[in-house]
Amino acid sequence: MKMAAKLMHAVQYDGYGGGAAAFKHVEVTVPTPKQNEVLLKVEATSLNPIDWKIQKGMLRPLLPCKFPYIPATDVAGEVVDVGPGVKNFKAGDKVVTTLGQQAGGGLAEYALAKESLTVARPPEVSAADAAGLPIAGLTAHQALTDSAGIKLDGSGKKENILITAAAGGVGHYAVQLAKLGNTHVTATCGARNLDFVRSLGADEVLDYKTPDGAALKSPSGVKYDYVIHCATGIPWSTFEPNLSANGKVIDLTPSGSSLLTFVSKMLTFSKKRLVPLFVTSKHQNLDFLVNLVKDGKLKTVIDSKHPLSKAEDAWAKSMEGHATGKIIVEP
């Protein structure tokens, strides 16, 4: 199919800053897939905090590499065209993918994805449920398996895990995945989400605005072997007394002070550590997560759905930082 002359609706911005108010709704040419790319008709896109952090210039000078930039990366859709080197997909296939921050392109009717980061989406998994998975699900998976060594088949010794910001995009997947392993999960969230986070499988839940919650103190008195730290702004001095002898904090949002803690704990051979995490998107892990959703072992909880014509509302909602689960945009 020749798509080059066709136009699509997209949302883009022309420079750093400005939040949702800087969005421009434009008609641009539907891109043509190169060698190993697939062209998707987008059915759902999920937002991640990294999307608006890029707009804020927090990753400059690396990202975005050029303006105008169509933000968002986590997309589910249908393949409509493929590059000449694509082997595993054809027009009509339902898929989920992550586009990569350099390229962006998720807030549009069509998007180009790399075949290597694209996985098939079975009919049991809706586009919105699949679109939630890439960055948030892969981060939760990587933190638990690579960083914490949890085996998601339930084998392995029992570990005590603390998950902060457990109601958010990453946290809500992390709680569910952690409970597939041999774990005791303590989780923190806002008061309105205590029952929700319990329903995801957490063994105990703390309201982060209470004194015990702010102190990360386990109600049952356990010390944490691993903290999957999805919140921000909690100092090492708050984690330290709650960690087991070899306890590790896996920090998803490393700051200057947390990087200093990381280095100083290494240099002093401390057994308690803070470890920064940067997600690496792996095709096989995304496939694993999609299949867990298909099998009913993992669910995407949707905070809200917004049409592409009102992508500003989704963006503002993500920037507020109070999502319960994933924020979805649909063309």
Ligand X SMILES: NC(=O)c1ccc[n+]([C@@H]2O[C@H](COP(=O)([O-])OP(=O)(O)OC[C@H]3O[C@@H](n4cnc5c(N)ncnc54)[C@H](OP(=O)(O)O)[C@@H]3O)[C@@H](O)[C@H]2O)c1
Binding residues vs ligand X (CB under 6 A): 48-50, 135-136, 139, 164-165, 167-171, 188-190, 193, 208, 230-232, 252-253, 277-279, 321-324
Residue closer to ligand X (CB basis): 107 or 323: 323
Q: Could you write out the DSSP letters of every residue in 247-303?
A: EEEEESS--HHHHHHHHHHHHTT-SSEEEE------HHHHHHHHHHHHTTS--PPEE
111 DSSP β-pair partners: 40
Whole-number minimum distance, CB 20 to ligand X, in Å? Answer: 15
Residue closer to ligand X (CB basis): 46 or 94: 46
Whole-number minimum distance, CB 103 to ligand X, in Å? Answer: 17
Tokens describing residue 267: 């240099």
Whole-number minimum distance, CB 153 to ligand X, in Å? Answer: 24
Cis bond upstream, residue 71 (ω within 30): no
Whole-number minimum distance, CB 318 to ligand X, in Å? Answer: 6
Residue type (1 letter), 170: V
Residue closer to ligand X (CB basis): 160 or 188: 188
Residue closer to ligand X (CB basis): 49 or 104: 49
The closest residue (CB) to ligand X is: 190
Counts for the chain of helices (H) and strands (E), in that order: 10, 15
CA distances from residue 23 to 49, 65, 98, 132, 304 in whole angstroms, order as listed: 16, 17, 21, 22, 19
Whole-number minimum distance, CB 134 to ligand X, in Å? Answer: 10
- Nearest alpha-carbon partner for 17 in 79, 60, 78, 77: 60
Residue closer to ligand X (CB basis): 118 or 324: 324
Whole-number minimum distance, CB 174 to ligand X, in Å? Answer: 9
In three-state secondary structure terms, 47 is coil
Residue closer to ligand X (CB basis): 106 or 190: 190
Which H or E run contains 112?
strand 110-114
Residue closer to ligand X (CB basis): 31 or 325: 325
- Cα dihedral 151, 154, 159, 163, rounded to 10, equals 80
Whole-number minimum distance, CB 90 to ligand X, in Å? Answer: 31
Tokens describing residue 92: 């009509």
